[in-house]
């Protein structure tokens, strides 16, 4: 707070491992009192770096879905402003080959999680087939999830512009 910060981005656990604490064990009372004392809002949660909703490996896809479901439930629990998500990589297959799978996974996640949680797609720099370095991919996902979902679900989908990633991807 001495720095003048008024918002925060946190992780629900280590961003490099799948394991998470049970939500019922988290001390939200302490967090809420500090949030109020320091006047810090909004608070965003960044998802794991391991996420890959484009994976062709069923176990990785299941782990990614479970981790994102946890983070959306965490977002609701802490009364956050959304989870920031790197969607993963197509690993050379191309966006067209995995886009329906990714859109379906996002729509399913939003249908199975609290109505007061928000899913924010973060753009990437585009290395190694990372999704959403082309902002048109984010726009396509918004439209596709919209077609697969009710209006209340669509309203919980947003995006987070990382200007460093955008610059690395060729946006100036």
Taking residues 74-94, report their average pLDDT.
97
List phi, psi (to 5°) of 112. Answer: -105, 10
Q: Is the pLDDT of residue 77 over 70?
A: yes
How many other C-beta atoms lie within 10 A of the C-beta of residue 9?
13
Taking residues 59-64, report their average pLDDT.
98
The model's pTM is 0.94
Confidence of residue 73 (pLDDT cuts 50, 70, 90): very high
C-alpha pair distances (Å), 160 with each of 16, 73, 74, 116: 20, 19, 18, 18
How many other C-beta atoms lie within 10 A of the C-beta of residue 38?
13
Q: Rounded distance, CA 94 to CA 75, Å? A: 31
């Amino acid at each position: 707070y001495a720095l003048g910060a008024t918002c925060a981005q946190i992780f629900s656990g280590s961003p490099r491992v799948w394991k998470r604490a049970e939500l019922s064990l988290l001390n939200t009372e302490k967090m809420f009192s500090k949030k109020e004392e320091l006047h810090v809002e909004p608070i965003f949660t960044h998802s794991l770096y391991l996420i890959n909703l484009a994976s062709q490996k069923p176990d990785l896809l299941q782990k990614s879905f479970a981790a994102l479901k946890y983070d959306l439930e965490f977002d609701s629990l802490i009364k956050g402003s959304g989870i920031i998500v790197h969607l993963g990589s197509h690993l050379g297959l191309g966006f067209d080959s995995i886009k329906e799978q990714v859109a379906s996974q996002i729509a399913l996640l939003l249908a199975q999680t609290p109505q007061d949680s928000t899913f924010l797609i973060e753009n990437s720099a585009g290395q190694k087939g990372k999704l959403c370095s082309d902002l048109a991919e984010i726009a396509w996902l918004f439209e596709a999830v919209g077609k697969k979902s009710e209006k209340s679900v669509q309203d919980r989908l947003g995006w987070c512009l990382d200007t460093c990633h955008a610059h690395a991807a060729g946006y100036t």
